[in-house]
Structure 1
Amino acid sequence: TFTEHFLHKAMGHLLQQLEKSSERHYAFIAIGHTAKQVGSDMKRFLDSIMKQIKSGLQSRGRKNALSKEPIFQCVGMLAKAVGPNLTKLLHNQLDLMFTCGLSEPLVQALTYIAQDIPPLLKTIQDRLLELLCVILSGQPYKPLGAPPSLGRNKVTTISRDLNVSQVSGNGKDSGVITLALKTPGAFDFNGHTLNEGCALPYLEDDHPEVRHAAAMT
């Protein structure tokens, strides 16, 4: 079979390609697709893959930094392939994933992780709600009935590493705002609800796609 005769050699080649800046994009995606085909047989390579994923996520803002989309695609496919076997390794990378800011590839990867790695579901729910609230309102997420001061000091922790345009005043990107408004309806928050006040200011936004997303939230 491919797994018995070729997997080790193929993965050795792909891991080498991750060392080359011109090949990383394709190598991450190829590793993800390989994982989907071989499933749990990918377990032996997880340490090496996650080291490269950590390195790629840490390169944000550097010259020649890799787009995060192939990394998130790879993570999502790995989650589907090996499930809870990835729990510990991936838990250690969630902070880096969230500091990349809100994007469709991030939300898609988190969706796969939440579906296939149940131990990480609550952590992802909490972190994603925090991120959405900070982007939309500049305030941390507060569960219904929680004291107003709860979590106020978290804002700086959450937002300090984010793209400034995602969390600051009039410079906010309308695409990011639209995605932040749509995400609660598309992600399994299992009883958690986004604070209603987060969406209200956007009902009168200048951008029609933002107004529509706010109305549907």
Structure 2
Amino acid sequence: MLFWLKIKTAGLLVQVKLIMASDKGEENKLMLLTCENCKTIFRVDEKAIAPLGQQVRCSVCKHVWRAERKAAGKTSDISLLSEIAARLRYPAAIIVVLMFVSVGLFSFRGPLTAQFPGLISSFDLAGLTIVPDPSVLEVRDLSTQYYYENLLRVRGVVFNKSDFRAHASMLNLRVVAADGAELYQQKIKPDEYFIDTGQSVPFLFN
């Protein structure tokens, strides 16, 4: 909307045109050009393209193709969003895959490093300490025997009941009297560092 203000001064007529902020006037129609080779998107004035189309050159990869007029408007904005979404789909898919791989490596780092011990140092550098999972292990065939009246020998095996190779866990041996008083406590290390699925490793204390 236009407003005119006329002032007469010194025999002259001064006209001042006031343009309201809401009045945008005539806007140039924009269109989107997408390079057929490198897929770079350009927003250009529609008038820059001949009515019947013309040859254009990509400023990025120098590819030449024929462009036709097509006003941007709302349709072009939607096309731009669709174009951007299409171009981001592949990187987004890679990020999602990497996230799943990272979660998998974190969750299964125990079985993974048991199967491939060389990876333990890499996990240590990443601050992910590898510890055995006692929930997949069982103590079996536990037996005790006295020697020379006061020498106790304890033996048994640690069994891996999981579907994957596992790290052998340290054992905590406690000797308790009949009245419940603890007489002795000692940590025992199994004979092997790793236990195959469905297999066991022995341990001995004397």
What TM-score, normalized to structure 2? 0.21
- Greater RCO between the two (CA within 8 Å, min separation 6)? 1
More helix by share: 1
